[in-house]
Amino acid sequence: MTEEKIHTSQTKELNNKLVELVIPKDGSLKNDILSGLTVALALVPEAIAFSFILGIDPTIGLYAAFMMGLIASIVGGRPGMISGATGAVAVIFAPLVIHQVQVAGMESALGYLFVAVALMGIIQIIMGILRVGKFVRMIPHPVMLGFVNGLAIIIFMSQLGQFYGADGNLLPMPILLIMLVLIAITMIISKFLPKITKAVPATLVAIIVVTIISYFLNQAGYTVLTVLDFVKMIEPTKSTLAASIPSFSIPHIPFTMDTFKTILPYSILAAAVGLIESLMTLRLIDELTETRGRSNRECIGQGLANLVNGFFGGMGGCAMIGQSMINIRAGGRGRVSGIAAALFLLAFIVWGAPLIEMIPLAALVGVMFMVVIGTFEWSSLRILKKIPLSDAIIIALVSIMTVVFDLAIAVFAGIILAAIMFAWERGKDIWAHTESMKNKKVYRLHGPLFFASVTKFKDLFDFKNDPVDVVIDFEKSRVYDHSGIEAINNIAEKYAQYGKKLHLLNLSEDCQKLIKKADNIVEVSILDNLIWHVADDKLDN
């Protein structure tokens, strides 16, 4: 092969890789763009609602959704995953904003918010560089199931607020009935259209059809609540969603150590929660698409997006499981889907606000209800009686804690509980087969020796009646931690009180290293004696 042909072949291969990076093998450019349009429509009410959690202008939430979606899609590690303004991050920053509004007014509060978001991004970038993302692999499957179920319940509950007016009362019956009918139409189209054709996303068709129906209902004198009505219910002075393109500015706050101490705790917590939600969503999409995202790169992508948010007037955020599910189920697989969603959203804000404002709330609520149905792991209910009780408890606990507290607490609690239950069960697995020969008794140990099994390990020995020489054969066992070393030390001391000697046989190389490292922690003389007897025992046998 000539040098020119080799160069041409390498160029083609590079081009193919670049195309696949943007559009995966199982996706298409058309699907990515259309699913991105669907996602952009669904992002609008979510971003507005999360803005009001902080008590700030909804434009800030829309800016955050645009910047998070665009940058995370380009730089992040999971094609097809949608990022934007989220309730999890908004809830964390809310106390900071509310306090600063009371102390120094809204302008100062926004300055503190933007700096906190930028610092959050820096922390996430550092976590990505330190490769913290790989720890998502340690999350047990029952915790994943609980996380998914809990988020499905949260998404469902978040939509219930659409059925209430600004006074907190249920909508008038005529308006409520129309809304329920339109929600049903949206869900029916979303469910059954894919069985007829998959040429266009069913959710997009549903939104368009229901918007047309609502237009004619309004013309006929019936009241149909729209996105603009939703905004006015929350902020009566707001008359439009139209805004300009976000611009760069440095937040105006005193850059002092006191300011840093005030902001840092919020930024750390938001960075942790944002990454946990993003990495859990990444793992879920990995399972749905049977592909693998890059968790550490996603940490950096999320961090960069939040850093930019801080200097372009956004409230920050993370990956959004609801919108990500809309995207995946609508056929979005590549980075183009997330980029398209962000650009469509910006177009809506700057040029297409009148069109977005007329979309009925019922259409978006119906889409989110379909997300709930698709997100909830219904199979987890069927398998509850077939899996270990400990796993069933973890699924239920994480689901409940995700709803009652927040995602971070639920996931950490689930991981800790899973680790405790695993240690408890593994701690029961240690046992010994005994053999007596002349003046020696051999305990052939089976199972791991670590902190959870030391009590049962100590109960295996008959200190009073055993012969002068006692051997513990570790061929079928391993010493895993300092608790195991200390247990061996205690056994040796106990036998020494009866004038007997303990010998260790077949200690693996890493176990011997572990014991040597513990020389300065436990009794050196005993440990040296134990290791010295290994060779003698092998010769005797």
**DSSP conformational letter for 171:** P
* pLDDT at res. 541: 44
Q: Which tokens hold the place of 212?
A: 């047309």
Task: Identify whether the C-beta of residue 277 lies closer than 8 Å to the C-beta of residue 402.
Answer: no
**Virtual torsion, Cα 145, 147, 153, 157, nearest 10 deg:** -170
Fold assignment, 429-540:
Transcription Regulator spoIIAA (3.30.750)
CB-facing half-sphere around the CA of 326: CA atoms within 13 A: 33
CA distances from 328 to 9, 137, 203, 363, 478 (A): 33, 22, 12, 19, 45
* pLDDT at res. 514: 63
* pLDDT at res. 402: 82
What H or E segment, with its residue span, contains residue 470? strand 469-479
Task: Identify whether the C-beta of residue 299 lies closer than 8 Å to the C-beta of residue 319.
Answer: no
Task: Identify whether the C-beta of residue 314 lies closer than 8 Å to the C-beta of residue 64.
Answer: yes
* pLDDT at res. 3: 54
Between β-strands 469-479 and 440-449, what pairing exists: parallel, antiparallel or unpaired?
A: parallel
Is residue 14 packed enough to be buried (19+ CB in 10 Å), middle (13-18) or exposed (0-12)? exposed
Amino acid at 214: S
CA distances from 392 to 40, 389, 396, 411, 453 (A): 37, 5, 6, 15, 24
Predicted TM-score of the model (pTM) = 0.72
Helix (H, G, I), strand (E, B) or coil at 448: strand
Spell out the per-residue pLDDT of the chain, length 541, in tens: 555 555 555 555 444 444 445 555 555 788 899 999 989 988 887 788 778 778 788 889 999 999 999 999 999 999 999 999 987 788 889 889 988 888 888 888 999 999 999 999 999 999 999 998 777 777 788 888 888 888 788 878 878 888 888 777 888 999 999 999 999 999 999 889 888 887 777 888 898 999 999 999 988 988 898 888 877 876 777 788 888 899 999 888 888 898 899 999 999 989 988 898 898 889 889 888 888 889 999 999 999 999 999 999 999 999 988 889 889 988 888 899 999 999 999 998 899 888 888 889 898 888 888 878 887 888 888 887 888 888 888 888 988 888 887 777 888 888 888 888 888 888 888 899 898 877 889 899 998 988 888 889 989 998 888 898 888 888 888 888 888 888 888 888 888 888 888 888 887 776 666 666 555 444 433 444 444 444 344 434 4
Quote the crossing angle between the two packed helices 407-427 and 389-404, to the nearest 10°.
Answer: 160
* Cα–Cα distance measured from residue 132 to residue 98, given in angstroms and rounded to the nearest whole number: 32
- Domains of the chain: which residue ranges? 20-416, 429-540
Q: How far apart are the first and last CA of the chain?
A: 65
CA angle 350, 351, 352 (to 5 degrees): 110
* Cα–Cα distance measured from residue 188 to residue 325, given in angstroms and rounded to the nearest whole number: 18
CA distances from 482 to 246, 461, 502, 505, 518 (A): 56, 20, 19, 19, 7
* Cα–Cα distance measured from residue 424 to residue 405, given in angstroms and rounded to the nearest whole number: 27
Residue length of the chain? 541
Amino acid at 198: K
Is residue 415 packed enough to be buried (19+ CB in 10 Å), middle (13-18) or exposed (0-12)? middle
E-strand stretches of 336-468: 431-437, 440-449
Phi, psi of 320 (to 5 degrees): -115, 115
* Cα–Cα distance measured from residue 468 to residue 441, given in angstroms and rounded to the nearest whole number: 8
* Cα–Cα distance measured from residue 223 to residue 220, given in angstroms and rounded to the nearest whole number: 9
